[in-house]
Amino acid sequence: MRKRQGPLADVRIVEMEAIGPVPLAAMILADMGADVVRLVRPGHQAMGGAVLSRSRTTVEVDLKTPEGREAALALIAQADALIEGYRPGVMERLGLGPDQVRADNSRLVFGRMTGWGQTGPLASLAGHDINYISLTGALHAIGRAGSPPLPPLNLVGDYGGGAMFLISGLLAGIIRARETGKGDVVDVAMTEGTLTLLSMFHAFIADNQWQDRREANLLDGGAHFYRCYECADGKHVAVGCLEPQFYAACLAGLGLDPATHPQYPASRWPEMAEAFARCFRGKTRDQWAELFAGTDACITPVLSFEEAPNHDHNLSRRSYADVDGVAQAAPAPRFSDAPTSVRAARLSTVENVLESWSRRNATQCAS
């Protein structure tokens, strides 16, 4: 039996089949070395395919049958944590709610991932990333002025406000459970995770440094030195020269006079943005990338999904992994004792998993 590597090598997690943030959180935890067993319906094709299923074991279990429920309970009884993303009450109806499973495993950390949270008037209703972030102010702030807000993929609610807070909450619960022997229920709501991500903007608002409209502020495209510009070939560059010295490096590369192209006041941002736009239309994206290479101007090419794996920096750090011809992120963050290669997903049975866990228990006790 191959010894698991990584900082979570002695952590066992049961992942209930779900979409959105749950499989991403489970993938990241498994990449860190956790032994994650994913329970799915028989014959069901997991969302995210091989990429979001990687680094862990998948077991087919019909939770609506007594046999399936007993199999799930057997795994959960040996686990450090469980993560699920059903609507409130579903796990309880399956006989797998927190009170039911923690009766046999008091140290279990039960991670619950939903958009609205376990309580409140919206708790039982459906929703998706765009809905969750719409109630936080985040969606209202993203996009062009005078146009409807633009959804930022599903990165803010599902993955930033959801998966990342599920991971941190789960790990905090496991640390405490190992100290006290008592587990916990972690209620992760994407709305509340998103609100926490917005903390800096709440500070801006409190200091009267933020206008509640799009393209009027420092970080929403209002500032000419923090936005994207079109180039001669129709591609784009990202400009992020917030600090004065970086802004000076940007002006030098563009050939613009600092005396006539000030960074402030904000009242001149629209005028400066037009000047920047004229400059950037004079060269192709890659010409600008070459011109600013090695400088602190904070100007980078805007790459497509297809282009990004071939960028020199990503290649040098091996930031991508190639599995069966599919480019995907290599495990992150990196640890000195953990491999950066991707482990493929595999199918197994409850019996095989329990046998493997028993062998590992015996090995740990012997050592």
Beta bridge partners of 240: 226
Q: What's the DSSP call for residue 267?
A: G
User: What CA–CA distance (Å, rounded) separates 340 from 306?
Assistant: 21
pLDDT band at 362 (very low <50, low <70, confident <90, very high): low
Mean pLDDT of 281-285: 98
Instruction: Supply angle C-alpha 23, 48, 331, rounded to 5.
Output: 60
Q: Do residues 73 and 104 make contact, with C-beta atoms less than 8 angstroms apart?
A: yes
Q: Which secondary-structure segment (H or E) carries 76?
A: helix 66-76
Summarised one tens digit per residue, pLDDT across range 65-107 is 999 999 999 999 999 999 999 999 999 999 999 999 999 999 9
Instruction: Judge whether residue 12 has pLDDT over 50.
Output: yes
User: What's the pLDDT at 45?
Assistant: 73
* 128 catalytically annotated: yes
For the segment 325-350, the average pLDDT, to the nearest whole number, is 87
SS3 175: helix
Q: What is the average pLDDT score of the chain?
A: 94
Please compute the mean of the pLDDT values over residues 19-23 and round it to a whole number.
93
Q: Looking at 53-57, 272-276, 338-342, which range is the least confident one?
A: 338-342
Task: Tell me the CA distances in angstroms from 50 to 27, 58, 345, one per residue in order.
Answer: 11, 11, 7
Q: Is the dihedral of CA 188, 189, 194, 198 positive or negative?
A: negative
Site of tokens 């001669």 = 232
Among residues 31, 80, 129, 158, which one is catalytic?
Answer: 158
Segment 191-214, tens digit of pLDDT? 999 999 999 999 999 999 999 999
Least trusted range by pLDDT, from 45-49, 289-293, 301-305: 45-49
Please give the average per-residue pLDDT across 333-338, as a whole number. 85
Please give the pLDDT value at position 361.
Answer: 74
The answer, yes or no, to whether residue 232 has pLDDT greater than 70, is yes
Q: Provide mean pLDDT across the span 279-301.
A: 98
Active-site choice (10, 62, 128, 236): 128
